[in-house]
Amino acid sequence: MTAPPSTPPASGRGVRSALAEAAADIAAISQTPRLDAELLMAHALGMSREALLLSHLDAPEPAAFAPLLARRLRHEPIAYIAGTRAFWTIELAVGPGVLVPRADSETLLEAAVDHFRKRPPATILDLGTGPGTLLLAALDHWPEAHGLGIDSSEKALDYAEMNAIDLEMDERARFELGDWATGLAGQFDLILTNPPYISTTETLPEEVRAHEPDVALFAGPDGLADYRIIAPQLRALLAPDGAAILEIGSTQAAPVTALLEAEGLAVTLRHDLGGNPRALIAMRRT
């Protein structure tokens, strides 16, 4: 992690007390106030959260902490402030205009690992790749695989390409501007996608609504608009014995399953760690 340009001590207060006061302030806007405060402090000190907790709680508060805290109190996502987000086994650069990776999306990787337990996928497609989230995590797990990430956002693809370089995967990952799989040829062992699935009538937390890109969140009045585009594209793109794994909202298992089954795909459901329906695994019917 790169330290802010200048981190002199602030006057009169130590890290321990600064964290306690910051967590109390953040509690008004976040369900994880202490974690948020620790991540901001670690970033201000230019170190990992683990290093902060192990050896720097009695250090002086750095001057860089207060402006970071002010940004968080304006509902800016921690990932945008720090510029990075941990996901699966990798860390990704993220920023304004890019969807912040969520831990729930790791359910797709868990499902993929289980599906390909006997043989690794050689080719991977990530539809709506964002900053390369699912593709680069999958490539990190299967170091012999190659993959393609598609996104309609040039900004997202800039982050994806930067992340591939930082993770030394740029020779195995390529990225293209596109509208889901429109015009895409070829077949893939594994297709991953986390499309927008939030209804335009739904109310979101301020840090999501005001900061993350609408195009990566909302999918029409019922949240299914993009699934209606993706479902008919999958069968032709799936290699024999391949799998397409789609993230869904917690209430969308039945309607998205119906869309996939209408395209001749066999579908199974995967729940996340919270017990919520989170991913659908679609395969060609035998």
Residue-wise pLDDT tens digits, 74-103: 999 999 999 999 999 999 999 999 999 999
What confidence score (pLDDT) does residue 64 get?
Answer: 97
Same domain, 233 and 268: yes
The alpha-helical segments, DSSP class H, found in 133-214 are 133-141, 154-166, 206-209
Q: Write the pLDDT tens digit of every residue in 208-220.
A: 999 999 999 999 9
Distance (Å, whole) CA 138 – CA 126: 10
Specify whether 64 is located in the same domain as 138. no
Rounded CA separation 242/239 (Å): 5
Structural domain range at position 54: 9-74
Q: What's the pTM value of the predicted model, to 2 decimals?
A: 0.92
Mark whether 277 and 243 lie in a shared domain: yes
Total structural domains in the chain? Answer: 2
Terminal-residue alpha carbon distance, the chain: 48
**Structure-block tokens of residue 220:** 């029409």
Residue 81 within a domain: no
Report yes or no: 17 and 37 within 8 Å, Cβ to Cβ.
Answer: no
Q: What is the structure's pLDDT at 29?
A: 96
Closest CA to 106 of 266, 284, 270: 270
Q: Do 30 and 143 sit in the same domain of this protein?
A: no
**Looking at the structure, do residues 122 and 180 belong to the same domain, yes or no?**
yes
The tens digit of pLDDT for each residue in 209-264 reads 999 999 999 999 999 999 999 999 999 999 999 999 999 999 999 999 999 999 99
Q: What is the CA radius of gyration of the chain?
A: 20
Render pLDDT for 156-209 as a digit per residue (tens, 0 to 9).
999 999 999 999 999 999 999 999 999 999 999 999 999 999 999 999 999 999
What counts of helices (H) and strands (E) characterise the chain?
11, 11
pLDDT at 285: 86
> Is beta strand 60-62 parallel, antiparallel or unpaired with respect to 9-14?
antiparallel
**pLDDT for the residue numbered 3:** 47
Name, in order, each residue with C-beta under 8 angstroms of 113's C-beta and a sequence gap of 6 or more: 141
Which CATH number belongs to the domain containing residue 122 in this structure?
A: 3.40.50.150
Compute the distance between CA of residue 250 and CA of residue 19 in angstroms, rounded to an integer: 34
CB atoms within 10 A of CB 62: 23
pLDDT of residue 9: 55
**Residue ending a domain, choose from 39, 74, 109:** 74
- Average the pLDDT over 97-122 and give the result: 97
Tallying the residues shown for the chain, one arrives at: 286
Burial of 175 (0-12, 13-18, 19+ CB in 10 A): buried
Are 149 and 261 members of one domain?
A: yes
Please tell me whether residues 105 and 172 are part of one structural domain: yes
* pLDDT-derived band at 279, boundaries 50, 70, 90: very high
Cα–Cα distance measured from residue 76 to residue 130, given in angstroms and rounded to the nearest whole number: 19
Q: What is the CATH number of the domain that holds 54?
A: 1.10.8
